[in-house]
Amino acid sequence: MTLPYEFEADEPEGYEPNLAEAGSPAVVPVKVMFDENINVAPAFGSCQTWQITNAQPVQIIQRQYRRNKAKIWVPGAFGGATVFFNTKVEPLMGANPQGVQMAAFFVLEYEAQPALYAVASAAGPIAVCVLDMLYGQVQ
Q: pLDDT tens, position by position, for the chain (139 residues)? A: 555 666 676 776 666 665 555 566 667 888 777 666 666 788 889 999 999 988 899 999 999 888 889 999 998 777 778 899 999 999 999 889 999 998 888 899 999 999 999 999 888 889 999 999 988 765 4
**37 lies in some domain:** no
- Rounded to whole angstroms, the Cα distance separating 42 from 46 reads 11
Question: For every residue of the chain, which 3-state class applies, written as one string?
Answer: CCCCCCCCCCCCCCCCCCHHHHCCCCCCCCCCCCCCCCCCCCCEEEEEEEEECCCCCEEEECCCCCEEEEEEECCCCCCCCCEEEECCCHHHCCCCCCCEEECCCCEEEECCCCCEEEEECCCCCEEEEEEEEECCCCC
Domain membership of residue 102 as a residue range: 42-134
**pLDDT, position 85:** 95
CATH number at residue 93: 2.60.120.770
Residue 30 lies in a domain: no
C-alpha to C-alpha distance for 9 and 21, rounded to whole angstroms: 29
Q: How many domains does the chain have?
A: 1
Q: Which residues are 69's β-sheet partners? A: 133
